[in-house]
């Protein structure tokens, strides 16, 4: 049996959210719920019906405090 390398996401039911930058489509984020983390690096969070946008690069993009705190930098190589 050949390996499965890609499985399409299930069809989105209900309201949809489209990333303004890359036009990927996601389920609309719930108010005060988890953010939509787009593959292009933008995060969208629904706060009271207002969509907050934040760019977080994949490398070094975690927040400095809180649950997404980044690990300490690796020691310098000499």
**Cα 15–62–28 angle (5° rounding)?**
0
Binned at pLDDT 50, 70 and 90, residue 57 comes out as confident
17 forms bridges with which residues in the sheet? Answer: 26
Does a structural domain hold residue 37?
A: yes
pLDDT of residue 70: 46
4-55 pLDDT, tens digit per residue, is: 677 777 899 999 999 999 999 999 999 999 999 998 889 999 999 999 998 8
- Residue 71 counted as domain residue: no
- Residue 24 within any structural domain of the chain: yes
The total of structural domains in the chain comes to 1
Q: Is the pLDDT of residue 1 over 90?
A: no
Q: Name the residue range of residue 50's domain.
A: 16-55
Of 22, 28, 61, the closest CA to residue 44 belongs to 28
Is residue 68 situated within a structural domain? no
Do residues 68 and 52 touch, judged by C-beta distance below 8 A? Answer: no
Whether 20 maps to a domain, the answer reads yes
Do 24 and 40 contact (CB within 8 A), yes or no?
yes
| Contact yes or no for 19/8 (Cβ under 8 A) | no
């Amino acid at each position: 049996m050949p390996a499965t390398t890609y499985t399409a996401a299930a069809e989105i039911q209900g309201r949809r959210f489209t990333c303004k930058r890359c036009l990927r489509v996601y389920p609309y984020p719930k108010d005060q719920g988890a953010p939509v983390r787009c593959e292009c690096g933008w995060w969208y969070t629904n706060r009271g019906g207002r969509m907050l946008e934040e760019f977080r690069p994949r490398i070094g993009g975690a927040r400095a405090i809180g649950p997404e705190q980044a690990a300490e930098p690796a020691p310098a190589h000499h």
